[in-house]
Structure 1
Amino acid sequence: MQILKKVVVKQILTDNSKTRLKEQFLSKQYQLNKEVQQLEFVLHKKLKDTKNNANYQNSLKESFRREMQRRKERIRQLELKLSQLDELDLGAEVREGSIQMIEEVEEGDNWEDIMKGTEIVVKDGMVHEIRKGGMHDDD
């Protein structure tokens, strides 16, 4: 029988990966800022078009405010990640996320061994190490 198992992906920080991560964070930050500006523009336009309906305008403002807040929070998180990235030394391991893998399970297998965490460590785009039997890492 086959099961899906979560695998943690980590990256060893090098000059190249640090630069790439920084560019990704800045790009996401730029995109989110553009989205906030676009939301502000659309809100202003819709408010102008519906100036005779105060209830609808209030609902619209609240809805747009929530969307803008979500994006601004993501921008703040990216700023934090950027500052943390600057403080990390080369060679440090940075969690990239997790993926799913298929693992073969048969009668008699030790369930605890199967469910122990697996990590894939990547360095400059290449699989550097596969670690089995570590702690299971929940998101």
Structure 2
Amino acid sequence: MKIIRKVAVKQIVTDQSKAKLRQEYDLKIFKLEQECQQLLFEQKKLEQRTAKKKADISAKFQKEIANRKDHIKWYKYKIEQLDILPIGNEISDGEVEAMIDIEEGMNWDHIMEQRSIVIKDGIITKIT
């Protein structure tokens, strides 16, 4: 029988991986800032079209903009943390699902032990 279980993916921090993560975070910040600008534009356009419920329109748009600004703050914090992260450290990079063969008589505790995949610069270096 086969079962599916989650396996942690860890990444070893290198100069290359730090640069890649920083680039990803900067891109996400840029996209979120663009979304904020677009929302402001849409808000003004909608308010000009309809005279009623300007306060409701404004509140909804401000909520969405505030949500995106919170995400921007989060990514800026992640960049700060990335800058102080030493080279060689392992960081969590999510989880993947793995298919495992099981048979009668196998040790369940051994099967369910925490497993991980370690990656360095896009190359799998260790599977435990």
TM-score under structure 1 length normalisation: 0.85
Distance in 2 (alpha carbons) for counterparts of 1:103 and 1:72: 42
1:128 is paired with a residue of what secondary structure? strand
Q: Which has the higher contact order (CA 8 A, sep 6+)?
A: 2
Q: Pick from 80, 84, 91 the counterpart of residue 81 of structure 2.
A: 84
Structure 2 CA distance for partners of 1:66 and 1:106, relative to 1, 3 Å: farther
2:110 is paired with a residue of what secondary structure? helix
> How do 1:14-93 and structure 2 match up within 5 A?
14-51=14-51, 53-54=52-53, 57-93=54-90
What code does the residue aligned with 1:60 have?
I
Q: Pick from 85, 88, 105 the counterpart of residue 108 of structure 1.
A: 105
Counterpart of 2:115 in structure 1 is: 118
Distance in 2 (alpha carbons) for counterparts of 1:113 and 1:95: 22
2:41 is paired with a residue of what secondary structure? helix
Gaps of 5+ in 1: 132-139
Distance in 1 (alpha carbons) for counterparts of 2:56 and 2:2: 49
What code does the residue aligned with 1:92 have?
N
Distance in 2 (alpha carbons) for counterparts of 1:111 and 1:68: 49
Identity fraction in percent: 38
What is the CA RMSD across the aligned residues, in angstroms? 1.3
> How far does residue 40 in structure 1 lie from its aligned partner after superposition?
1.1
Give per-residue Cα distances to partners, 1:20-53, cap 9 Å, x unaligned. 11111111111111111111111111111111x2
Distance in 2 (alpha carbons) for counterparts of 1:65 and 1:77: 18
What code does the residue aligned with 2:8 have?
V
Structure 2 CA distance for partners of 1:15 and 1:107, relative to 1, 3 Å: same
TM-score under structure 2 length normalisation: 0.92
Distance in 2 (alpha carbons) for counterparts of 1:82 and 1:42: 30
Structure 2 CA distance for partners of 1:60 and 1:110, relative to 1, 3 Å: farther
